[in-house]
A = this chain, B = another copy of it.
Amino acid sequence: MLENIRIVLVNTTHPGNIGGVARAMKNMGLSDLCLIEPRRFPHADASARAAGADDILTNATVVESLEDALADCHLVVGTSARSRTIPWPLVNPRELAAIVTPLPSTTRVAIVFGREDRGLTNEELQRCHQHVHIPVNEQFSSLNLAAAVQVITYEMRMAQECDVSDAKPRWGTEWDVDLADGRELERLFDHFEEALTEIDFLDPDKPRNLMPRLQRLLLRAVPDKIEVNILRGMLTAIQKGCRR
């Protein structure tokens, strides 16, 4: 399970923090690190703070966008300091471990960490199935990036190694179909946007919260591949119907 968890860092400013994250990951048995446009990387500060976790840095993927980072991921979790404009499913690190641990072994999970100074944007957070929040002292709530990764990966390891969770499979039963990955969900949401615009339900000039609300609804359910195909088929039928 730990090998299937990707740590995604968005626009990290200090290369030392990337090294600290690599060390925390390796301490907990994770290895998949993905960097979205880091300010400076590779960098001597990263290697110094990695303190021997250089392999994690060497094998890190550097990409340009969140879409690239999440393309093959089935469950995306965003780290969030506070509640946002519309509520989103929010768990603490232990609850997250209880969700992730029972998933089928083919499930690829991404945990996304934001910028040192201002975290993730609303738009980035809306790409996530789940948000996770570390219960900090509200009077001093800014965690160091590597510290946040340490706590969350510690919980993942505890759940796997120390068998403390009485976690049940997510839906209490074996699923018969693979879950949709990030690329498939991305296409689905694009298709929704396109079709809903064609039938004048979505006004691109006044989108309100329509797409975030639809995304949140569907992400909460964590759709499988057949379900995504059904929705895509429905959208195509809508477009054909309107073009007649």
Among B94, B142, B172, B237, the residue within 8 A (CB) of A164 is: B94
A227 and B237 within 8 A (CB): no
0/1 interface trace, chain A 83-101, chain B, CB 8 Å (1 if under): 1001111111111000000
Q: How many residues of A contact B (CB 8 A)?
A: 74
B196 and A237 within 8 A (CB): yes
A244–B241 Cα gap in the complex (Å)? Answer: 10
Among B90, B134, B226, the residue within 8 A (CB) of A171 is: B90
Judged by a CB distance under 8 angstroms, whether A207 is at the interface is no
**Contact A158-B29, Cβ < 8 Å, known A199-B241, A200-B237, A201-B234:** no
**Contact A88-B173, Cβ < 8 Å, known A150-B150, A154-B151, A196-B237:** yes
Judged by a CB distance under 8 angstroms, whether A115 is at the interface is no
Find the B residue at minimum CB distance from A170: B89
A144–B146 Cα gap in the complex (Å)? Answer: 10
* Chain B residues with CB below 8 A from A87, complex form: 171, 173-176
B26 and A238 within 8 A (CB): no
**Contact A158-B220, Cβ < 8 Å, known A27-B136, A174-B87:** no
A168–B196 Cα gap in the complex (Å)? Answer: 35
A237 and B201 within 8 A (CB): yes
A213–B227 Cα gap in the complex (Å)? Answer: 7
Q: How many copies does the complex hold?
A: 2
List chain A positions with a Cβ less than 8 A from chain B: 20, 23-24, 26-29, 51-53, 83, 86-95, 131, 133-137, 140-144, 146-147, 150-151, 154, 157-158, 161-162, 164, 171-176, 196, 198-201, 210, 213-214, 216-218, 220-223, 226-227, 230, 233-234, 237-238, 240-242, 244
A91–B158 Cα gap in the complex (Å)? Answer: 13
A169–B89 Cα gap in the complex (Å)? Answer: 10
**Contact A23-B217, Cβ < 8 Å, known A173-B88, A237-B199:** no
B241 and A158 within 8 A (CB): no
Find the B residue at minimum CB distance from A219: B221
A171 to B: closest C-beta gap in Å: 4
**10 A-B contacts, Cβ less than 8 Å apart?**
A27-B136, A52-B140, A88-B171, A88-B173, A90-B171, A147-B147, A151-B151, A220-B220, A241-B242, A242-B244
